[in-house]
Structure 1
Amino acid sequence: MTREIIVDVASYQSDLTVADYKSLGATKAIVKVTESTNYTNPYANREVNRAAEAGYTGFAFYHFGKFGGSVSQAVAEANYFIAQTKAKFNLAPGTLMILDAEETNQTTDAVIAFLDVVRKAGFHTGFYTYKYLLPQFNLEAIKPHMDFFWLADYPLANGAAADRNPDFNYFPSANYVDLWQYTDNLLGYKVDGSISVTDNALKLFNPSGAKVESKPVATPAPKPVTSQTTWTDDLGVKWTAEKGTFTLGSAINLRWGATTTSSLIATLPAGSEVNYDAWAKSGGYIWIRQPRGNGQFGYLVCRDSNGQAFGTFK
């Protein structure tokens, strides 16, 4: 199988730039969204947008559990996690949603209760913990309720910089591991770094490429990205909300940002229809923004500087 580096970020990595994400050499990112029932990461969208601009191809989201051994609190936290993540991102059914369980008072039944709420909502479920905490959980009991197991165990001392090639002589001996978090300081960027261990780990970052074990719920109507009619994104591009469909009159590049140097997603052929939710002026062109899964967006030019359209609108 192909091994890939995956990073995870929280609010304290909010200053990472597009260049930083490129330098980390990862392909996918896991973004913290919530903790308990009273905290939401205010920088989650920024982190997804910058990673996508750097060419990252998949995203998952995680919640830091604070429920201890309370099943009712675990259910409340799971519902909070789902609601807050939906409010920030256009989640596709089957998106990977992970529980971070790293407190010493958490119990197996509370973990299962959390995972079951997430799965019933139509998402893939992930369970994360440290190797030294495994004895407090019944992993065999949790296994039927999780689609993805992410285990942390650091061969190097906490804080020591690690490269993108972990020493598998130190791989944690545990069952079902899909992703091994082997450092909390990848390349000196103070970012947690993990490496995929199974093909399952990679497929789950693409909901269309992985099986949902329970019947998915109906996809809710996408929520507006912002209540404002205009806003400025992380690249300094000012956007105006507008919904419509653009039909390409010729082949046009779809990119991760509204600049001609932004990373390429695909070249769309003539006749393709693109649903968009906003437009902007950037680099001498008029651009439109295409909502994509997991809170990501694609961008393509639709007019030149003289207003000449490269296709038709409706």
Structure 2
Amino acid sequence: MKQPLKHKIILTGAAMMAAFFLGVNANAARMDMVDVSNNNGYMSTAEYVSMRNEFGVKAVTVKISEGSTYKDPYAVSNIANVQAAGLYINGYHFARYATKAQAIAEADFAGQTAKAAGLPIGAVLATDVESQEANNQSKATNDRNNVAFMQEIQKFGYRADIYTSGSWANNKMTIKGKTGWIASYPYVVSGKNWYSTNHAWQWSSTAKFRISYGGFDVSQLNSNYYTAGQKSRVKPTNKGAVKANNRKANKHIYKPATSAKWVKESKTYTLKTAVKLRAGVSTSSSAIAILPAGTTVKTDKAIIKGGYRWVRQPRFNGYGYLATGPASNTLEYVKSGSTHTYYTVKYGDSWWAIAQRNGLNMTTLASQNGKTIYTIIYPGQRLVVR
């Protein structure tokens, strides 16, 4: 999740130790750790070996559970295959708790699920705090809940940590130095040492691996916390490929539009009609979500491009973009009559398979069809994919 150091400097004490771990003069964020879940589908040992040998991946953090009932169906195979590939293994729980009691209950559920899935004692079992439930709480409440979860999870023999966004860290919740796994996706990756006082920095959610399908969340480690407190024994077999692949991954990170100029615009809008929140400044960009009429949207920048006036909405990880109409306090599309692209569900299809085929994630695909990823789909059913 972080950037390597850019310039030669003289360091002493703790700073020297950090520099030794990161590598002074590094000029590309590293793919030290990958996190995977049911969104990535089944991952083979061969895929993890490729990540290790060709990309320098040292650790994998696997989704274990969510809330108080959901168990990731791929946790067992992911844990086994990561270990077979010789990589460090950790887990995470997607938090839904809003009270201390709920946090303790979710920690008990996550700990039991992790043990049953084969997550070894001593691994990290992080709480992933980015839900609407947490967004609705005060900083003090989130801090109380997070502490309760982490104290409870340690009773199962796991080490605790918090994953959240850079915009939420020390805003929605306290993230102390020498703790935390922080997500922040910059326009330009190289050239800055991001979140160097935290354990890890997740710097991309779209990284590509040679023999694996789709985009992956990748992080750079700032400490050895996610490698079990030991010096890594994982050695890539192709150092040249690691260097080239890491540089390549850095190059495709989000870049600002060059055909027009962004201007600052800090406003709160109320949607007059339902509007697609898109991943880029184009009507052909994939939809992150469909925001219903009445939704309020806070923006920080605006731009004129492609016949539309666009505004940018800061989100948990990165930004969303909406096309606006006349210069009023209401968002709407300038052009009407847009058409959808549909996909007809076939036998054996799943939310994950259809989403991957169309460059979406499962949650986006489901939400733009008015459903959730737990809704059953049937052969012959038509789904909106664009």
TM-score (norm 2): 0.45
Partners of 1:52 and 1:89 in 2: CA distance: 10
Partners of 1:205 and 1:181 in 2: CA distance: 21
In the other structure, the counterpart of 2:152 is 117
* 1:12-31 equivalence runs, <5 A: 12-24=39-51, 25=55, 26-31=57-62
C-alpha displacement of 1:155: 1.5
1:49 aligns with 2:70: no
In the other structure, the counterpart of 1:246 is none
Say which SS state the counterpart of residue 52 (structure 1) adopts: helix
Aligned residue pair count: 189
Partners of 1:90 and 1:153 in 2: CA distance: 27
Partners of 1:199 and 1:137 in 2: CA distance: 23
The residue type paired with residue 143 of structure 2 is T
Does the CA contact (< 8 Å) of 1:14 and 1:46 recur in 2?
Answer: no
Structure 1 or 2: larger strand share? 1
Partners of 2:148 and 2:191 in 1: CA distance: 33
C-alpha displacement of 1:205: 7.4
1:60 aligns with 2:83: no
Structure 1 residues without counterparts, runs of 5 or longer: 158-165, 207-314
Does the CA contact (< 8 Å) of 2:79 and 2:117 recur in 1?
Answer: no
In the other structure, the counterpart of 1:278 is none
Instruction: Classify 1:198/1:9 alpha carbon distance in 2 versus 1 (closer, same or farther; 3 Å).
Output: same
Say which SS state the counterpart of residue 184 (structure 1) adopts: strand
In the other structure, the counterpart of 1:80 is 109
Say which SS state the counterpart of residue 180 (structure 2) adopts: strand
Instruction: Classify 1:121/1:46 alpha carbon distance in 2 versus 1 (closer, same or farther; 3 Å).
Output: closer
* 1:33-182 equivalence runs, <5 A: 33-53=64-84, 55-68=85-98, 70-89=99-118, 91-92=120-121, 94-103=122-131, 104-106=135-137, 107-134=142-169, 135-140=171-176, 148-156=179-187, 166-169=189-192, 171-172=193-194, 174=195, 176-182=197-203
Partners of 1:36 and 1:13 in 2: CA distance: 20
Partners of 1:204 and 1:186 in 2: CA distance: 26
Does the CA contact (< 8 Å) of 2:64 and 2:113 recur in 1?
Answer: yes
Say which SS state the counterpart of residue 198 (structure 2) adopts: coil
Instruction: Classify 1:9/1:64 alpha carbon distance in 2 versus 1 (closer, same or farther; 3 Å).
Output: same
C-alpha displacement of 1:37: 0.5
In the other structure, the counterpart of 2:285 is none
Partners of 1:8 and 1:113 in 2: CA distance: 24
Instruction: Classify 1:193/1:205 alpha carbon distance in 2 versus 1 (closer, same or farther; 3 Å).
Output: farther
2:220 aligned residue (192, 195, 207): 195
C-alpha displacement of 1:18: 3.4
C-alpha displacement of 1:15: 3.2
Instruction: Classify 1:28/1:124 alpha carbon distance in 2 versus 1 (closer, same or farther; 3 Å).
Output: same
Does the CA contact (< 8 Å) of 1:77 and 1:114 recur in 2?
Answer: yes
Instruction: Classify 1:139/1:52 alpha carbon distance in 2 versus 1 (closer, same or farther; 3 Å).
Output: closer
C-alpha displacement of 1:20: 3.0
1:184 aligns with 2:186: no
Deviations 1:126-163 (A, max 9, x none): 111000112111234xx7xxx74111101249xxxxxx
Structure 2 residues without counterparts, runs of 5 or longer: 1-19, 23-30, 232-386
Deviations 1:215-238 (A, max 9, x none): xxxxxxxxxxxxxxxxxxxxxxxx
TM-score (norm 1): 0.54
Partners of 2:46 and 2:187 in 1: CA distance: 26
Does the CA contact (< 8 Å) of 2:91 and 2:126 recur in 1?
Answer: yes
Does the CA contact (< 8 Å) of 1:58 and 1:205 recur in 2?
Answer: no
C-alpha displacement of 1:51: 2.7
Deviations 1:155-212 (A, max 9, x none): 249xxxxxxxx5242x44x573111110101126411000111234434479xxxxxx
Q: Which has the larger radius of gyration?
A: 2
RMSD of the TM alignment (CA)? 2.6
